[in-house]
Homo-oligomer: A and B are copies of this chain.
Amino acid sequence: MAQGGGRVQRAAVIGCGTVGASWAALFLVHGLDVTATDPAEGAEERLRAFVEGARAQLAGFGLTGSGRLRFVPRVPEALDGAEFVQENAPETEALKRALLAEIDRLLPPQVLVASSTSALLRSAIVADCARPERVLVAHPFNPPHLVPLVEIVAGDAATAARAAAFYRGLGRRPVILRREMPGHIANRLASALYREAVNLVAEGVASVADIDAALCHGPGLRWAAMGPHMTYHLGGGAGGIAHYLAHLGPSQERRWASLGNPALTPEVQAAIVAGVAEEAAGLSVAELEARRDRALVGILKARETVAPDPAQDGTAEE
C-alpha cells in the first residue's frame, strides 16, 4: 500500500502515550522507521523505555525487525517523509479535529492518516480536513503491540481496504465497520458486559474478585477463542445457531429484560474500588500490567481461534 504501490517504510506516530508508544513498538519490530512526537514533558524517555520493553516481548514472537526510532519536537517534523500516520492525541474532539486538519494540510494526499480514537466519531474529527477521505479511525485495543484487533472506520471501502492491508501486514486483525457507531464495536460489547458486572456488585451477588473470576475462568476464556455468535452456534448443538435462536431466543430476551441498569453512585464506586483492591492483593497497577502482558503473550502464542481467518490473499494490498 501507500505511495506508488510500495510498502510503507516510514510511519509517523503523533502522540506517544500508552497507545502511541505501543503502536511505535509494533511498527519498529516490523521494520518500519518511526518518527514520533509528543509535547508532554519527558515523553521521549517514556517512549524509549516502553519500546525497549515491548521489543523484548515481541522478540518472543520472532518479531525482531530493526526499524529506526526518531523523536522530534513538533508535528510537522514528524510528518516529514511519512508514508502512514497514526494519531494518538488525547480524546478531546476540538483538539483531534484541529490536529487532523493540520496533519491533512501538511501531507501529500495519498498518505493515510489513522486516528486511534476510542470515544470520538470519525465524522466529527475529520470535519475540518480538506481531504477527509484519507483520514480514518483505526482503533486498537490496549496494548496494541499485543492485542490484534484494529477497528476501522473509513469514508469509503477502498480506504478501509488499504488501511486493513497495512494493519494485516503487521499481524493485526482489522475489522471494518460498515458505519460509524459511538464506541465502535468492541468497546460497546465491553461496556454492555461491564454494566451487568457493576450491577452484580451493586446487588451484592458476589465479590468483585469473584465476578472477575467468573468471566476469565468461564466465558472470557472461551471468548479468547470465538465470539458470541459462534459461541451460541455451538450452544445450539447439531442444529447450531438456528436451533439455538428458535428454542432459546425467547429465554435470551427474558434474560435481557432482567439485566440491571445500575448507576455509578458513590456507594457503588466505593464497593468496586474496595473490591478491586482486595482482588489486586497488594500488586501495583504496573505489576498487574506486567502480569497482563505476560498472560497475553502466553495466550497469543498458544491459541488458535475457532472461526477460519478470512482470506489474507493480499487482494486488498495495493
Contact = CB atoms under 8 A, between A and B. Distances in A.
Interface string A184-216: 111111111111110011011110111111111
Contacts of A76: none
A117 to B, nearest CB: 13
Contact of A228 (B190, B251, B258, B263): B190
A276 B241 contact: yes
A219 B217 CA distance: 14
Interface residues of A, number: 115
Contacts of A49: none
Contact of A200 (B176, B188, B286, B304): B188
Contact of A299 (B181, B218, B224): B224
Contacts of A188: 196, 200, 255, 259
A214 B241 contact: no
A225 interface: yes
A44 interface: no
Interface string A157-199: 0000000000000000101111101111111111111111100
Nearest to A265: B249
Contacts of A151: 214, 218
Contact of A229 (B211, B224, B230): B211
B281 A307 contact: yes
Given A221-B296, A276-B240, A292-B234, A173 B213 contact: yes
A301 B302 contact: yes
Contacts of A275: 229
A102 B132 CA distance: 70
Copies of this chain held together in the complex: 2
Nearest to A190: B219
Nearest to A281: B308
Interface stretch (A29-37, A67-75, A140-148): A140-148
A227 interface: yes
Given A238-B285, A298-B303, A245 B216 contact: no
Interface string A248-264: 01111101101101011
Contact of A196 (B189, B225, B235, B241): B189
A289 interface: yes
Interface of A: 18, 119, 141-142, 147-149, 151, 173, 175-179, 181-197, 200-201, 203-206, 208-238, 240-242, 245-246, 249-253, 255-256, 258-259, 261, 263-264, 269, 272-273, 275-276, 279-281, 283, 285-286, 288-289, 291-292, 294-296, 298-308, 310
Given A185-B200, A189-B197, A241-B273, 4 more contacts: A148-B218, A177-B205, A186-B218, A241-B272
12 contacts: A141-B218, A181-B205, A188-B259, A189-B211, A190-B219, A194-B252, A197-B229, A201-B229, A216-B223, A229-B279, A230-B288, A295-B306
